[in-house]
Amino acid sequence: MDDRPTTNTADPVLRQLLEATHEGFWHIDVEGLTIDVNPAMCAILGRPREDILGRTIFDFVDATNLAIFRDQMQRREHGITGSYEIALQRPDGTHVSCINNATPVLDENGTRVSSIGLWTEITDIKDRQKSLEQTTEAAEHAADEARQLRATLESQVQSRTTELLLANDALRNSQEHYRLLSDLSPDAVFVHADGKIIFANPEMLRLMEADSIDEILGIPVTTIVASEDLERTSEARQRLSEGKSHSGLLDVKYQTLRGNVVEVDTFASQTTWENQDAFLIVARDISARKQLEQQLRQAQRLEAVGQLTGGIAHDVNNLLAVIQGNTEFLADEIGEDNEMVRSILRASQRGAELTQRLLAFSRQQQLKPKSLDLSSLVEGLHQLLSRTLGERIDVRLSTDENLWPATADPGQVENVIVNLAINARDAMPDGGTLTISCRNAVIDQMSAMHHADAQVGEFAVLSVRDTGTGMSEDVKSRIFEPFFTTKEFGKGSGLGLSMAYGFVRQSGGHITIDSEPGAGTEISLHLPRAHSDAEEGSAQNDQDLLRGRGEHILVVEDDDEVRALVTVTLESLGYKVTNVPTAEQGLAMLQQGRADLILSDVVLPGEMSGPDLLRAARAIHPEVGALLMSGYPADADGITEYPILRKPFQRTQLAQRVREALSPRDATEHVA
């Protein structure tokens, strides 16, 4: 027979409560020897109860955490309580992180005889956040999971509350154990009778921002419920009074004693408390979850808009390629000095810049990231910004010492700073202060959970803060959408912030906004810390127009007008050209003859893409040159084996890239 001491469970209701709770219950003596555990604690440790009883708690604490744990136990001996994170080791060698809330048990002389701890396993939801960002389908799947989780929570809370009701009389005889469980509960628990609160646990004090229990006891329960939810909570109490066993899970807003509003999930049951009819309420703070859900919905909306704008930019790039190319031919005929020709070229160039901004928002632009000193870049822009913003705007710079270098495209960072500065100027029509600051930031897992776009890591942060009019919540929720603007018609395109959003996200960072009406706005760019000075990408050299020497080029492009334009342009440069609309037709032609170079669009109708055609062609003619073209950068993601020409392109760019693709080969071997 096992003669070891166990927790006093003579009270069957208390034992039932310990068996049903989802928090791990661990009772140890002064030497750390296990006296009792509940099923939830066994599940956390991944061990049966008989494998835990009689062993010390130190056998299960991860070795790297032993010093922390012993220090916390020493603090308990001196009466210092609180919660802390600790890692436990499972039989398979894995670790589980838990929050431990422990309280000493004292005898009648005030001497500690044992300790009771409640252990809560920490759940990491980062992977779900990341998957929710990526696609609308994933968001719907996550919503289904959330509904299932809500149903499960309702069932668990209902079961827990029912157990509390059944154990009401027994709990009176076990007041000390009840106090310990209530004090360590992660949920706010309170009781009200005759409309006034008569009991509240420590978590309720924290939720209500109360300094002491005296601030809570005796206040009308209606004073903590937001006005818009009073009717619903009153109806729930009425149903309970009419005999319903519980209220069901209610999502309501509470107003704290300091005037702040928190959102909670509440569950209510009718009970008897100190010989009077009362209502027992269990409330869980879901404000952070609600905020995260809102961020995820906004991220999903921006993702959908980004896909749409990227597709539009692809089609527009094809149109601009045709307009720009034919205009260059027109200039050859009537002269480059013709005003109409120059106007068309300027318009096509502005159109190309617009598509670049759309691609920036959809995170599909070409970036040239490098190790960047934000402090030097900002200082270099100081004089420009001061002149641009005018005398009524005081531009101030602030940089932390030992600022980390950032990984970003410097040109894009400059564009973002200028855009943000101009927006700030417009928000301060009577003048004000614009502060540009740079600092270091480390985003840990807990911090990242509060922002849907955030990643864990080290960041160099560039913040632009103004003292202007600020933004409402509605404006903040839409501020990154393309073409959304609060300015008058003709005063802004609405693409500045959307471009900044796409650029920062494509660079591996994220943007945060802190703004309230009348309190100004601060927009912070979190850019990944650079760990090397290596620069990605290469600058394009301006060269004279390079002509062909009769080489044979196979052009594969499904857009008829683009195909015709590329053909005419290459022929004007001295090349022999064959053009087809599909990869299958191109491959058939290569099986009958040869070409010196294949110039193909990335995405083609049919089963074969441009890269597929090039691989098949080189299996037949290994020496054939290869060059891809694309107006939609997302289509070219991951293609590294072949050079890519971006649409729309000028005739000089086409000539240069074709010569570069042919240069490794001996041009004398071509077949005319």
Is 131 within a domain?
no
Say what the pLDDT of residue 410 is. Answer: 78
Separation of alpha carbons 525 and 558, rounded Å? 40
417 and 486 belong to one structural domain: yes
Of the given ranges (8-17, 235-244, 487-496), which has the lowest mean pLDDT? Answer: 487-496
Is 545 within a domain?
no
Q: Which residue has the higher pLDDT, 343 or 619?
A: 619
383 and 517 belong to one structural domain: yes
Average pLDDT over residues 623-629: 91
Is 62 within a domain?
yes
Is 447 within a domain?
yes
Say what the pLDDT of residue 236 is. Answer: 81
Cβ-contact 420, 524 below 8 angstroms? no
Of the given ranges (165-174, 388-397, 614-623), which has the lowest mean pLDDT? Answer: 165-174
Q: What is the CATH number of the domain that holds 420?
A: 3.30.565.10
pLDDT band for position 405 (cuts 50, 70, 90): very high
Average pLDDT over residues 373-400: 84
Say what the pLDDT of residue 106 is. Answer: 79
Separation of alpha carbons 182 and 174, rounded Å? 12
Q: What is the CATH number of the domain that holds 587?
A: 3.40.50.2300
Say what the pLDDT of residue 247 is. Answer: 59
Cβ-contact 583, 608 below 8 angstroms? yes
177 and 214 belong to one structural domain: yes
pLDDT(124) > 50: no
Instruction: Tell me which of 250, 285, 320 is where a domain ends.
Output: 285
pLDDT(581) > 60: yes
Over residues 258-267, the pLDDT tens digits come to 888 888 888 8
Tokens coding 432: 């004000």
Say what the pLDDT of residue 544 is. Answer: 44
pLDDT(672) > 60: no
Is 305 within a domain?
yes
| Burial class of 520 by CB neighbour count within 10 A (0 to 12, 13 to 18, 19+) | buried
Instruction: Tell me which of 255, 285, 315 is where a domain ends.
Output: 285
Average pLDDT over the chain, rounded to an integer = 77
pLDDT(552) > 90: yes
Give percent of the chain above pLDDT 70. 72
Q: What CA–CA distances, in Å, run from 13 to 26, 163, 167, 186, 278?
A: 18, 8, 5, 21, 20
Separation of alpha carbons 634 and 642, rounded Å? 15
pLDDT(120) > 50: yes
155 and 267 belong to one structural domain: yes
pLDDT band for position 504 (cuts 50, 70, 90): confident
Average pLDDT over residues 535-558: 67
Is 539 within a domain?
no
Residue 429: cis peptide before it, omega within 30 degrees of 0: no
Q: Which residue has the higher pLDDT, 10 or 416?
A: 416
pLDDT band for position 569 (cuts 50, 70, 90): confident
Of the given ranges (3-12, 181-190, 500-509, 608-617), which has the lowest mean pLDDT? Answer: 3-12
Q: Which residue has the higher pLDDT, 473 or 348?
A: 473
pLDDT band for position 538 (cuts 50, 70, 90): very low
Cβ-contact 581, 557 below 8 angstroms? yes
378 and 517 belong to one structural domain: yes
Pairing of strands 521-528, 576-580: unpaired
pLDDT(15) > 70: yes
Burial 134-169 (b: 16+ CB within 10 A, else e): eeeeebeebeeeeeeeeeeeeeebbebbeebeebee
Domain that includes residue 651, residue range: 552-669
Separation of alpha carbons 399 and 621, rounded Å? 58
109 and 52 belong to one structural domain: yes
Over residues 449-495, the pLDDT tens digits come to 666 567 788 999 999 999 988 888 777 777 766 555 555 544 444 44
374 and 523 belong to one structural domain: yes
Say what the pLDDT of residue 465 is. Answer: 92
Beta-carbon contacts of 67 under 8 Å, excluding residues fewer than 6 positions away, are none
Say what the pLDDT of residue 277 is. Answer: 83
Per DSSP, the chain holds a count of helices (H) and strands (E) of: 20, 22
Q: Which residue has the higher pLDDT, 467 or 7?
A: 467
Q: What CA–CA distances, in Å, run from 530 to 225, 404, 407, 509?
A: 49, 7, 5, 12
Average pLDDT over residues 321-331: 73
pLDDT(539) > 50: no
Say what the pLDDT of residue 494 is. Answer: 41
Q: What is the CATH number of the domain that holds 215?
A: 3.30.450.20
pLDDT band for position 281 (cuts 50, 70, 90): confident
509 and 443 belong to one structural domain: yes
The most confident of 109-118, 212-221, 273-282, by mean pLDDT: 212-221
Is 426 within a domain?
yes
Instruction: Tell me which of 329, 361, 393 is where a domain ends.
Output: 361
Tokens coding 278: 């009362």
The most confident of 294-298, 397-401, 415-419, 551-555, by mean pLDDT: 551-555
Over residues 55-103, the pLDDT tens digits come to 998 889 888 888 888 888 777 766 666 678 888 989 988 888 888 888 8
Say what the pLDDT of residue 439 is. Answer: 93
Residues in the chain: 672
376 and 524 belong to one structural domain: yes
94 and 75 belong to one structural domain: yes
Of 33, 53, 54, 29, whose CA–CA distance to 41 is shortest? 53
305 and 417 belong to one structural domain: no
Cβ-contact 451, 505 below 8 angstroms? no
Placement of tokens 């301006």 in the chain: 542
Of 567, 547, 566, 565, whose CA–CA distance to 662 is shortest? 547
71 and 94 belong to one structural domain: yes
Separation of alpha carbons 77 and 32, rounded Å? 12
- HSE (CB half, 13 Å, CA atoms) of 329? 15
Placement of tokens 């076990």 in the chain: 174
Secondary structure class of 93 (helix, strand, coil): coil
Q: How many domains does the chain divide into? A: 5
Quick one: three-class SS letters along 431-487? CEEEEEEEEEEEECHHHHCCCCCCCCEEEEEEEEEECCCCCCHHHHHHCCCCCCCCC
Is 637 within a domain?
yes
Of the given ranges (250-259, 476-485, 528-537), which has the lowest mean pLDDT? Answer: 528-537
Tokens coding 326: 């034919």
Tokens coding 619: 């299996």
Beta-carbon contacts of 555 under 8 Å, excluding residues fewer than 6 positions away, are 563, 566, 567, 570, 577, 578, 579, 580, 599, 600
pLDDT(108) > 90: no
Separation of alpha carbons 310 and 317, rounded Å? 10
E-strand stretches of 154-217: 188-193, 196-200
Tokens coding 336: 């480059």
pLDDT(541) > 50: no
- Angle (CA) 194-195-199 rounded to 5° is 90
